[in-house]
A and B are shown apart, each in its own frame.
Chain A
């Protein structure tokens, strides 16, 4: 139970990052697992080869994820939207292949023996690791909340809504899309680092294309661009296969069907504008405004 909860919390972090890219800046990304993986491998390498703790390597992990996000985002963002989907899929396959075939990254065997995280000398496991993940999840949600409220988000919104109109207001579409991409990949990196230290063993398959499809399904289900949608979507898709065991084997099929159904009937997601859930919760949200 705790294991499922921890993994859901970690995935929710990654999906929050995806939300910044897809939901806030309106760019499709089908390669998010690659950036999750880059975070995980960076943390794993620093832990096993340099003996750095989770805390010591975290800033480096964030920086490297962001930097690779920047380098890969730069050419991707300039292409047309439908190309971006294909480009990000390509990125996912290439990154996975590098993890799988380059010996430095452990090759087909992956990287094992990654230590658990210690907090003031106490090794976190079980419930305490779960709590740590929740803390990170809330920090990330806090960051997303701030992003949603800040000026940058208005600019992002304008670009998503109508790129040309945004540019006539002095907003550089390329700059903001890139910024969102970098923030999103950095958040994925944090999730990846937690994942590596939790699983203690990672391999290339953990970050394959189907995982990216899963992330996107979670986001679309919960509601792109909403604050809590990523958490809700991850929760539902994380728990469902646990309840209906046979579903595990058909996970990808489930994700894909769900993705298509959502895009067809409820593109805003469960928590999106005008959704049934939203109508129920709206009065509650109003008060908080």
Chain B
């Protein structure tokens, strides 16, 4: 295709991952440019979580390479990736239930590159997520599912990451809340130039705010292209959008 891939923000080549005998991801290739918002969509069990966890360093890569800002991070441990600006909003949010909202946000401060005052960074987040400010002294376990998702996003954002990995943020959310959370992600991408990788079963909402997308089926990438192209694709319409 002649695409210049030497100075990509994120470049994943030939990624394969297995759990014992189960081949979860097979030879997946994708890239991201700085400031992009892209989606990897696929049905349950397609390998989305596996891919995103491998980017964070939570599952070992069997073969292939992950290059982040020119640096090979394929074998780097998770906490070091967090420190060079990669943060994850994990599947089902997984905030610390017995810490307050504020304390949960503080845990996000830990591995920061440039230490801004915690208060300042958290205050900015309260503007984006007003509900968290209201609930700041409440235990995270007392939050609703949607609020916990917002907290998980905010916790990932405290350290001002460069790449945000978001795993199925729409799971378990009511459609209205899903829209809200996605519009926050869109704002973060458009106004704060945050590079975001979404993995979603909910193809429609995520493609709507994405520039490009990849379609994953049983661990393999079967289709890729601009979001508008994917949304028009008849196969996608049938399988994911329910048309």
Residue in A closest to B94 when the chains form the complex, CB atoms: A165
A169:B77 contact, CB within 8 angstroms: no
B79:A164 contact, CB within 8 angstroms: no
B110:A151 contact, CB within 8 angstroms: yes
A140: Cβ under 8 A from any B Cβ: no
Closest CB-CB distance, A137 to chain B, in whole Å? 28
What residues of A have a CB within 8 angstroms of the CB of B57 in the complex?
Answer: 167
B90:A168 contact, CB within 8 angstroms: yes
B96:A168 contact, CB within 8 angstroms: no
A162:B96 contact, CB within 8 angstroms: yes
What residues of A have a CB within 8 angstroms of the CB of B103 in the complex?
Answer: 154
Q: Known: A154-B103, A158-B96, A161-B98. Contact between A168 and B56, CB under 8 A?
A: yes
Give the one of B78, B96, B109 with max A CB within 10 A: B78
Interface residues of chain B, those whose CB is within 8 Å of chain A, are 56-58, 77-80, 82-83, 87-88, 90, 94, 96, 98-99, 103, 106-112, 155, 159
What residues of A have a CB within 8 angstroms of the CB of B82 in the complex?
Answer: 167-171
Residue in A closest to B112 when the chains form the complex, CB atoms: A170
Residue in A closest to B103 when the chains form the complex, CB atoms: A154
In the assembled complex, the Cα of A157 lies from the Cα of B110 at a distance in Å of 12
6 A-B residue pairs with Cβ-Cβ distance under 8 Å, sorted by A, are A157-B99, A168-B58, A168-B87, A169-B82, A170-B83, A170-B159
Interface size on A, residues (CB 8 A): 18
Q: Which of B90, B96, B106, B111 contacts A170 (CB 8 A)?
A: B111
B98:A170 contact, CB within 8 angstroms: no
B98:A169 contact, CB within 8 angstroms: no
Residue in A closest to B109 when the chains form the complex, CB atoms: A151
Would you give the 0/1 interface string for A102-146, flagging 1 where the beta carbon is closer than 8 Å to chain B? 000000000000000000000000000000000000000000000
Closest CB-CB distance, A134 to chain B, in whole Å? 32
A154:B88 contact, CB within 8 angstroms: no
The 9 A-B residue pairs with the shortest CB-CB distance, nearest first, are: A170-B111, A170-B82, A167-B78, A167-B79, A172-B79, A170-B83, A168-B88, A158-B107, A171-B110
Identify 9 new A-B residue pairs, CB closer than 8 A, beyond the known A154-B103, A158-B110, A165-B94: A151-B110, A154-B99, A154-B106, A154-B110, A158-B96, A161-B98, A168-B78, A168-B90, A171-B111
B107:A154 contact, CB within 8 angstroms: yes
What residues of B have a CB within 8 angstroms of the CB of A167 in the complex?
Answer: 57-58, 77-79, 82
What residues of B have a CB within 8 angstroms of the CB of A158 in the complex?
Answer: 96, 107, 110
What residues of B have a CB within 8 angstroms of the CB of A172 in the complex?
Answer: 77, 79-80
